[in-house]
Amino acid sequence: MPDALSRPYAERLDATDPLASLADEFVVADDALIYLDGNSLGRLPHRTRQRLRAVVEHEWGSGLIRSWSTWVGEPVRVGDRIGAVLLGAGEGQVLVGDNTTVNLYKLAAAAVDEARERDPRRTRIVTDSGNFPTDRYVLEGLAAERGMSLDLVDLPELDPITASSLTHVLDDRVAVLSLSLVDYRSAAIADLAGIQAAADAIGAHAVWDLSHAVGAIPVELDAAGATLAVGCTYKYVNGGPGAPAFLYVRRDWQDRLRQPVWGWFGQTDQFAMGPGYHPATGIGRFATGTPPMLGVAAVAEGVELLGEAGIAALRAKSVALTGMVIDLHDAWLVPLGFTLASPRDPAVRAGHVSLAHPEAYQACQALIEGGVVPDFRAPDRLRLGLAPATTSFTQVWDAMDRLRRIVTSGDHLRFPVARAAVT
Amino acid sequence: MPDALSRPYAERLDATDPLASLADEFVVADDALIYLDGNSLGRLPHRTRQRLRAVVEHEWGSGLIRSWSTWVGEPVRVGDRIGAVLLGAGEGQVLVGDNTTVNLYKLAAAAVDEARERDPRRTRIVTDSGNFPTDRYVLEGLAAERGMSLDLVDLPELDPITASSLTHVLDDRVAVLSLSLVDYRSAAIADLAGIQAAADAIGAHAVWDLSHAVGAIPVELDAAGATLAVGCTYKYVNGGPGAPAFLYVRRDWQDRLRQPVWGWFGQTDQFAMGPGYHPATGIGRFATGTPPMLGVAAVAEGVELLGEAGIAALRAKSVALTGMVIDLHDAWLVPLGFTLASPRDPAVRAGHVSLAHPEAYQACQALIEGGVVPDFRAPDRLRLGLAPATTSFTQVWDAMDRLRRIVTSGDHLRFPVARAAVT
């Protein structure tokens, strides 16, 4: 058995990896590139390239307007597949379209309005002060628009959020509690079922952002009793740059909520073009205008690819990949001033690992120059996104080896300090 | 000189058409197909097919996350090109992203909020009762959300809307007047400058929907004194199914308006991921979340193609095409019970022509079966969208000839009556 910190050990893990052949499903233009940013923009599947050609050349180019007879059902059909394959959600509860920001706005607004109609004293919106920026901004805007308060709760970044960590802020004046299931910085996984139950218990809506979770960890929305969620598809789902997001509304809530952007794709009997807005029954009422069909098609392919691999197998490999980063970090990087900014317990750690270092921005630039692409998050985080479908153990080993050499030699100090990193 | 109602006359117009070669710029899978639905989904340009391949395979597939350094500027850059080529709008005033429904929601909400802050008695939103459904629904939703009234004004469909046709509904309680520049049914062109001046005079915001205008007629937003507009790109701009829409906010209004969907793409210093939302200065503050980059790229190609042809030349051909439909209608279809549902005066008629007939739905189905694709709009309109970049005079002649033969023979009565057509 080779030393667990050695490259032969990583090679052996690759040799026995049941998902190793999955990498062949993706376009790899540069074999030498080590791409550790699958949590920002996932790689391009071959089948998606083919499908996009077909959508562009045949469905649009030849079919023209006639293709809308198929396209019009795709946002729900692909939503169903996301639900079945990745979210543990039964049919008719997931819709693809718009971006995550717009979808969060729609669901949070619908939830706030329902809660306040029920009880006008529900004037609080609660979120994590470390939540992803767009989530905080959307909620801040909603609170401002409706004269409500936004409570930004300071929570430890590395500890998974649980119901008990929120007890002090939950009361019967909360209309909406909105959290990310997976922290975009640390990858800590919040306790979905427990927090949902705590929100239910006080009559508040929980609105979940699954962007860093979907495709990285198994999510069981129906089983957890979740009612409202949104998420993006351009990370682990490999939907492409700016691919449409999804939203989930549990069936029994759909007809009791009214989202604020009343558009013709959410209307009953859309092409009757009737005089007043009568929202469709079901998940369709959460649609706005014309959905982006190229993006929807790309999402469909990404979902099926993950489904064939199986989310359980992907998760198992993901745990092993992130575990290897942590082991190498402990052995090689701690002496160089790095600290782990992700949970050690794999049960509450999702698909990426964050490493904190005062020179993280510069180290990131040096890695990129050398053909390793991680990402940087202000102020001091090097974030390694280890998409299990496209990342090998030897790539992880090589990247970590590159990083220790760079920082040991001081080579990264050639790069300027990021403005964002010092603010 | 051949008889103006004859096919040789149409052939002669094609022979002398300075834009005839433009059709070669587009993918034509079926030479026999007569596509008269360019006002619903424009054809696929060859260059767009190429560009989408490049975006997918090179920018996404090879460039991966690194391509965002270019992509991030595209919504404004492509917006500037739409502004310069099609809208008469100076730089930094047009942004591409979201769909028309979401963009209208953002601008109308921003406008309403500004007006009410200025004067809380401004509680009215005014639109045309015949406006495109999604426009009416968005405004209805906004009015409901904010406890305002939506006034649906009945206006004659065939007459262009002018300031004087609105005099009776404009007063100092109007916050927003929202209209389509081109009527989606009749193609009547509203008086942009005159109505804008009337709105300005009472301190209300005019919010224009340019969806059926952009690429079909020259629009001069800056010269007309327009302040707020939205529009789609999948019709005459040939951006593809569900291509992102655009919005226009005149420079002097940008920093005085705050749209409701506060997202990270509208934030100052987006990647600093700061604690509170501080909207970017300029047009960028009207962005929400991650823009759909495949769609944005397709829009860019469509705009450049129209720019090379020149909007003035496109408009001249468009007037001739719609004029030919009207001449043939008068000669052949009036005896069959058709009536013209578009303006006769070409100065106030945009790029499509609507023909009313009680059996329009059935005639539409028969045309489609025979390889002519128009569209149908409830309850009784056959709408012919004659995109000048891709439609020839002989195609128009052949389609009209087909239509008269179908209705003369009663062949269309084989098709069922549309449910939508009888409600």
Distance (Å) from the C-alpha of residue B41 to the closest C-alpha of chain A? Answer: 6
Nearest CA in chain A to B235: A65
Same domain? B116 vs B213: yes
Tell me if B99 and A289 make a contact (CB, 8 A cut-off).
yes
Write down the pLDDT at residue A419: 58
Mutation site, B60, B139, B269, B390, interface A, largest A CB count within 10 A: B60
Nearest to A276 by CA among B165, B143, B2: B143
Q: Per the domain annotation, does B323 fall within a domain?
A: yes
- Does the active-site annotation cover B14? no
> What is the distance in angstroms between the Cα of B2 and the nearest Cα belonging to chain A?
34
Domain-ending residue, one of A282, A307, A332: A307
Flag whether B141 is in a domain. Answer: yes
- State the smallest CA–CA distance between residue B310 and chain A in angstroms: 23
pLDDT at B419: 58
Quote the pLDDT of residue A421.
38
Q: Is the pLDDT of residue A107 over 60?
A: yes
Judge if B169 and B247 occupy the same domain. Answer: yes
Q: Cβ A294–B240 below 8 Å, yes or no? A: yes
Catalytic positions of A, written as ranges: 132, 209, 234-235, 383
pLDDT at B359 over 90: yes
Tell me whether residues B37 and A67 touch, CB distance under 8 A.
no
Q: What is the pLDDT of residue A273?
A: 76
Residue B170: strand, helix, or coil: coil
Q: B291 vs A100: CB contact, 8 Å cut-off?
A: no
Interface test with B, best of A47, A112, A183, A262 (most B CBs within 10 A): A262
ipTM of the complex: 0.96
Q: Is the pLDDT of residue B423 over 70?
A: no
Collect all residues of chain A within an 8 Å Cβ-Cβ radius of residue B279: none
Answer for the pair A364, A374: CB distance below 8 angstroms, yes or no: yes
pLDDT band at A114 (very low <50, low <70, confident <90, very high): very high
Put simply, the answer to whether A373 touches B65 (Cβ < 8 Å) is yes
Does residue B418 register a pLDDT over 80?
no
Q: Which residues of chain A neighbour B98 with C-beta distances below 8 Å?
A: 98-99, 102
- Distance from A39 to chain B by nearest Cα, in Å? 10
Rounded to an integer, the average pLDDT of A3-17 is 97
Q: What are the C-alpha distances in Å from B113 to residues A146, B124, B204, B248, B418? A: 12, 12, 11, 18, 41
CB–CB contact B242 A423 (8 Å): no
Please tell me whether residues B348 and B223 are part of one structural domain: no
Identify whether residues A302 and A329 lie together within a single domain.
Answer: no
Any domain includes B166:
yes
- List the single residue in B64, B142, B267 with the smallest CB-CB distance to A41: B64
Under DSSP, the state recorded for B377 is E
Mean pLDDT of chain A: 96
CA nearest A63 in B: which residue?
A: B29
The tally of domains found in chain A comes to 2
Contact B159, B188 (CB under 8 A): yes
Q: What is the DSSP letter of B109?
A: H
Contacts with B288 from chain A: Cβ below 8 Å: 99, 101-102, 105
Question: What distance in Å separates the CA atoms of residue B384 and residue B322, rounded to the nearest whole number?
Answer: 9
Q: Does B370 reside within a domain?
A: yes
What is the percent of chain B where pLDDT is above 90? Answer: 95
- CB distance B289–A71 less than 8 Å? no
Choosing from B307, B342, B375, the residue where a domain stops is B307
CB distance A65–B37 less than 8 Å?
yes
Size of interface A-B (CB pairs under 8 A): 269
Indicate whether B36 belongs to any domain.
Answer: no
Chain A interface mutation, best of B290, B293, B367, B383, highest count of A Cβ atoms under 10 Å:
B290
Per residue in A178-218, pLDDT (tens digit) is: 999 999 999 999 999 999 999 999 999 999 999 999 999 99
B389 lies in which domain range?
Answer: 7-31+310-422
Residue A160 lies inside a defined structural domain of this protein: yes
Closest CB from A41, A113, A294 relative to B294: A294
Choosing from B43, B106, B235, B377, the catalytic residue is B235
A272 pLDDT above the threshold of 80: no
- Minimum distance, in Å, between the CA of residue A63 and any CA atom of chain B: 9
Of B66, B292, B368, the CB nearest to A242: B292
Asked if B277 lies within 8 A of A137 by C-beta distance, the reply is: yes
Instruction: Show Cβ contacts of residue B203 under 8 Å, excluding neighbours closer than 6 positions.
Output: B115, B118, B119, B122, B172
Token digits of residue A152: 């930004």
**What are A28-79's pLDDT values in tens digits?**
999 999 999 988 999 999 999 999 999 999 999 999 999 999 999 999 999 9
Are both A176 and A159 inside the same structural domain? Answer: yes
Contact assignment for A140 to B244 by CB distance below 8 Å: no
For every residue of chain A, which 3-state class applies, written as one string?
A: CCCCCCHHHHHHHHHCCCCHHHHHHECCCCCCCEECECCCCCCCEHHHHHHHHHHHHHHHCCCHHHHHHHHCCHHHHHHHHHHHHHHCCCCCCEEECCCHHHHHHHHHHHHHHHHHHHCCCCCEEEEECCCCHHHHHHHHHHHHHCCCEEEEECCCCCCCCCHHHHHHHCCCCEEEEEEECECCCCCEECCHHHHHHHHHHCCCEEEEECCCCECCECCCHHHHCCCEEEECCCCCCCCCCCCCCEEEECHHHHCCCCCCCCCHHHECCHHHCCCCCCECCCHHHHCCCCCCHHHHHHHHHHHHHHHHHCHHHHHHHHHHHHHHHHHHHHHHHHHHCCEECCCCCHHHECCEEEEECCCHHHHHHHHHHCCEECEEECCCEEEEECCCCCCCHHHHHHHHHHHHHHHHHCHHHHCCCCHHHHC
pLDDT surpassing 90 at residue A333: yes
In sequence order, the 6+-apart residues with CB closer than 8 A to the CB of A36 are: A372, A373, A374, A384, A385, A386, A391, A395, A396, A399
Cα–Cα distance between A43 and A30 in angstroms, integer? 12
Tokens read off for B44: 């696929």
Q: Which residues of A touch B40 (CB under 8 A)?
A: 65
Cβ–Cβ gap A263/B137 under 8 Å: yes
B292 and B346 in a single domain? The answer is no
Q: Examine the domain organization and report whether A68 and A194 are in the same domain.
A: yes
B45 located within any domain: no
Are A49 and B35 inside 8 Å of each other by CB?
A: no
B26/B95 same-domain check: no
Segment B157-164 shows an average pLDDT of: 94
Q: What is the pLDDT of residue A373?
A: 96
Beta-carbon separation of B263 and A49 below 8 A: no
Interface test with chain A among B106, B236, B294, by most A beta carbons within 10 Å = B294
- Give yes or no for a contact between A412 and A333, defined as CB atoms under 8 angstroms apart: no
Query: Which residues in chain B are contacts of A105 at CB distance < 8 A?
Result: 260-261, 263, 288
Q: Considering the domain boundaries, does residue A39 fall inside one?
A: no
Which residues, including other chains, have CB under 8 Å from residue B422's CB and lie 6 or more apart? B379
Min distance B227 CA to chain A CA atoms (Å) = 22
Nearest to A60 among B129, B241, B288 (CB): B241
Nearest-by-Cβ selection for B294 from A33, A41, A240 = A240
- Asked whether the predicted pLDDT for residue A327 surpasses 80, the reply is yes
Q: Do B133 and A375 touch (CB under 8 A)?
A: no
Q: Name the residue of chain A whose CA is nearest to B138's CA.
A: A262
- Mean pLDDT for the stretch of residues B273-279: 88
Cβ separation of A296 and B242 shorter than 8 Å?
A: yes
Asked whether residue A143 falls in the same domain as residue A202, the answer is: yes
> In terms of domains, do B87 and B225 share one?
yes
Cα angle B45-B48-B49, degrees, rounded to a multiple of 5: 95
Instruction: Provide the pLDDT for residue A271.
Output: 78
Same structural domain, A347 and A299: no
Does residue B383 contact residue B375 with C-beta atoms inside 8 Å? yes
Nearest residue on chain B to A419, judged by CA atoms?
A: B272
From the CA of A297, how many Å to the nearest CA of chain B? Answer: 11
Q: Hey, how many other C-beta atoms are within 10 angstroms of the C-beta on B375?
A: 19
Nearest CB among B52, B99, B262 relative to A52 is that of: B52
Q: Using a CB-CB distance cutoff of 8 angstroms, which residues of chain B are in contact with residue A288?
A: 99, 101-102, 105
Give the three-class secondary structure for B358.
Answer: coil
Tell me the C-alpha to C-alpha distance, in Å, between residue B178 and each of A111, B19, B207: 28, 34, 5
Check residue B92 and give its pLDDT.
98
Q: Say whether both B147 and B174 belong to one domain.
A: yes
Contact (CB<8Å) B293/A241: yes
Kindly report the average pLDDT of chain B as a whole number: 96
Contact between A131 and A106 (Cβ < 8 Å) = no
Q: Cα–Cα distance between B375 and B381 in angstroms, integer?
A: 8
Which of these is catalytic: B246, B383, B393, B404? B383
Nearest CA in chain A to B31: A62
CATH of the domain at B17: 3.90.1150.10
What was the pLDDT predicted at B106? 98
Please list every residue in chain B whose beta carbon sits closer than 8 Å to the beta carbon of residue A134: 263-265, 289
* Range B69-83 average pLDDT: 97
CB–CB contact B289 A261 (8 Å): no
Phi/psi at A206 (nearest 5 deg)? Answer: -95, 125
Contacts of A102 in chain B (CB under 8 A): 98, 102, 261, 263, 288-289
**Final residue before a domain boundary, out of B276, B291, B307:** B307
Give the CA count within 13 Å in the CB-facing half-sphere of A60: 33
pTM above 0.80, yes or no: yes
- Per the CB < 8 A criterion, the answer to whether A160 and A348 are in contact is yes
Give the domain CATH number at B134. 3.40.640.10
Residue A420 pLDDT exceeds 70: no
Mean pLDDT confidence for B255-259: 96
Q: Do B262 and A141 touch (CB under 8 A)?
A: yes
In whole angstroms, give the CA distance from residue A187 to residue A216: 10
Average pLDDT over residues A168-182: 98
Closest chain A residue to the Cα of B34, Cα to Cα? A64
